[in-house]
């Protein structure tokens, strides 16, 4: 117990502690999460994963480790669907300004969103994946091959028939997130990339994060391994280099459902904002609203943009855990009960192997925290 108290105290005084004391703290924390570190080290050493970064933070403990071709812990990865809660956080800043309500009909802001039950769809249903809109458009691959602008995805998403009556079923829907982001554009008069930058990244000092590419050259981003990637992302198609995950087109597009780039420590800052409800991006009550389940029994548990509950994140986490995963090979969660944030970014697509090293490492972190 005395050693533990000493380490916590030295963590609080890291800025002024002597070098030997900082080294002792780092060694002890790394040892605590040695299993997760070894999982990612082995995966990159064996070349199953080209690049990975681990970030874990909890009171008194911070781990930042880069592996393989990730040059340092600030390496920027394509987040995949972790983009969703980031973009919805920007949307919810307008909710805090009372410029939109969750029970507003989508048609209030998008007049052409009508017919076939579209008139009944609410913003709340877009954010919780119960609107009836699909995950991807029927013509997704064709649009990407044509290097279509985001406006074309928006136009076709608004015209897409609903798969079911709004609110009657759960169906994961990237297109629902897209339309919610577009509503935010209509209200704010800003492109969603600019809204995310001003309302999320700038406020949290996430300097290694961007929606799309922004000021960063393509060389700044970790290359996604395309072997085993989802077909809609260009996986298995040698002719997809002009539109796949690694193309300048896709990265510039800044798709609200999957086009955010960030470093692991930056993503940790984002999760801390919602776990600690600091009010820097959204009001504390709004952070609480976004990170609790909104769906009825029998539906997948969803917050507003966030996955909630341990089933889809790490089983050893508490029921209050929230976060998201990404098909590009990423996972992140924050557990308010243990005050733990875990971010694992890899270059290996989630479909490429099971169990995926990101999940094994994240589960190891959760198990370690539960035992401590």
In Å, the largest CA–CA distance within the chain is 68
The answer for residues whose C-beta is within 8 angstroms of residue 75's C-beta and 6 or more apart is 51, 53, 66, 222, 263, 264, 345
Rounded CA separation 137/148 (Å) = 13
CA pair distance 175, 182, nearest whole angstrom = 10
Query: Residue 135: inside a domain, yes or no?
Result: yes
In a domain? residue 65: no
Can you give the C-alpha Rg of the chain in angstroms? Answer: 20
In a domain, 162, yes or no: yes
CATH assignment at residue 253: 3.40.710.10
Per-residue pLDDT of 43-62, as tens digits, reads: 999 999 999 999 999 998 89
Question: According to the model, what pLDDT value does residue 31 have?
Answer: 86
Find out whether 246 and 213 touch, Cβ atoms under 8 Å: no
Is residue 229 in a domain? yes
CB-neighbour burial class of residue 20 (10 A; exposed 0-12, middle 13-18, buried 19+)? exposed
- Tally of domains in the chain: 1
Note whether residue 311 is domain-resident.
yes
Question: Do the Cβ atoms of 244 and 234 come closer than 8 Å?
Answer: yes
Per-residue CA distances from 274 to 67, 277, 359 (Å): 27, 5, 22
Q: Per the domain annotation, does 1 fall within a domain?
A: no
Contacts of 11 (CB under 8 A, 6+ apart): 25, 60, 61, 62
Express each pLDDT in 330-365 by its tens digit: 999 999 999 999 999 999 999 999 999 999 999 999
Is residue 365 within 8 A of residue 331, CB to CB? The reply is: no
- How many CB atoms lie under 10 A from the CB of residue 25? 22
Residue 201 placed within a domain: yes
Whether 321 maps to a domain, the answer reads: yes
Q: Which phi and psi (to 5°) does residue 223 adopt?
A: -75, 130
How many Å apart are CA 226 and CA 233, to the nearest integer? 9
Q: Looking at residue 327, what is its pLDDT?
A: 97
The answer to whether the beta carbons of residues 154 and 116 sit under 8 Å apart is no
Count of residues for the chain?
372
Q: Is 234 left (phi over 0), alpha (psi -120 to 50) or beta?
A: left
Q: CB under 8 Å to 316, separation ≥6 — which residues?
A: 310, 363, 366, 367, 369, 370
Task: List the domain range (segments joined by +) for residue 351.
Answer: 77-371
Please give the structure tokens belonging to residue 242. Answer: 């002009």
Q: What is the DSSP letter of 197?
A: I
Given this model, what pLDDT does residue 188 score?
98
pLDDT (tens place) for every residue of the chain, 372 residues total: 333 333 333 344 444 555 544 444 455 567 889 999 999 999 999 999 999 999 999 998 899 999 999 999 999 999 999 999 999 999 999 999 999 999 999 999 999 999 999 999 999 999 999 999 999 999 999 999 999 999 999 999 999 999 999 999 999 999 999 999 999 999 999 999 999 999 999 999 999 999 999 999 999 999 999 988 988 888 888 889 999 999 999 999 999 999 999 999 999 999 999 999 999 999 999 999 999 999 999 999 999 999 999 999 999 999 999 999 999 999 999 999 999 999 999 999 999 999 999 999 999 999 999 998
Instruction: For residue 81, give both structure tokens.
Output: 């669907």
Burial class, 115, CB count within 10 angstroms (exposed 0-12 / middle 13-18 / buried 19+): exposed
Q: What pLDDT shows up at residue 27?
A: 54
Q: Which helix (H) or strand (E) holds 68?
A: strand 61-68
Can you give the pTM of this predicted structure?
0.92
pLDDT tens per residue across span 97-107 = 999 999 999 99
Beta-strand relationship, 77-78 and 61-68: unpaired
């Amino acid at each position: 117990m005395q050693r533990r108290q000493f380490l916590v105290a030295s963590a609080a005084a890291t800025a002024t502690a002597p070098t030997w004391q900082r080294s002792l703290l780092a060694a002890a924390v790394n040892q605590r999460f040695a299993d997760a570190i070894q999982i990612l080290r082995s995966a990159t050493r064996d070349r199953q994963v080209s690049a990975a970064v681990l970030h874990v933070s909890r009171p008194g403990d911070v781990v930042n480790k880069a592996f393989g071709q990730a040059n340092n812990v600030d390496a920027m990865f394509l987040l995949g669907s972790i983009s969703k809660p980031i973009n919805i956080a920007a949307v919810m800043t307008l909710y805090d300004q009372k410029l939109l309500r969750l029970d507003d009909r989508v048609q209030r802001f998008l007049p052409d969103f009508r017919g076939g039950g579209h008139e009944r769809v609410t913003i709340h249903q877009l954010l919780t994946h119960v609107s009836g809109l699909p995950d991807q458009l029927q013509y997704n691959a064709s649009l990407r091959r044509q290097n279509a602008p985001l406006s074309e995805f928006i136009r076709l998403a608004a015209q897409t028939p609903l798969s079911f009556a709004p609110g009657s079923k759960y169906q994961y829907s990237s297109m629902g997130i897209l339309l919610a982001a577009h509503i935010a554009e209509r209200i704010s008069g800003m492109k969603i990339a600019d809204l995310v930058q001003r309302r999320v990244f700038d406020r949290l000092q996430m300097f290694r994060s961007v929606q799309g590419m922004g000021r960063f050259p393509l060389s700044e981003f970790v290359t996604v391994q395309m072997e085993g990637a989802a077909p809609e992302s260009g996986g298995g198609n040698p002719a997809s280099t002009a539109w796949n995950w690694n193309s300048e087109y896709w990265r510039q597009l800044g798709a609200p459902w999957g086009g955010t780039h960030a470093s692991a420590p930056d993503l940790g800052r984002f999760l801390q904002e919602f776990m600690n409800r600091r009010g820097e991006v959204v009001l504390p009550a709004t952070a609480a609203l976004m990170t609790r389940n909104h769906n009825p029994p029998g539906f997948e548990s969803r917050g507003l943009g966030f996955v909630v509950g341990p089933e889809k994140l790490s089983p050893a986490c508490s029921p209050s855990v929230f976060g998201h995963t990404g098909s590009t090979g990423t996972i992140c969660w924050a557990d308010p009960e243990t005050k733990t944030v875990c971010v694992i970014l890899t270059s290996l697509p989630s479909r490429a192997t099971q169990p995926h090293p990101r999940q094994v490492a994240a589960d190891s972190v959760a198990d370690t925290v539960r035992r401590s």
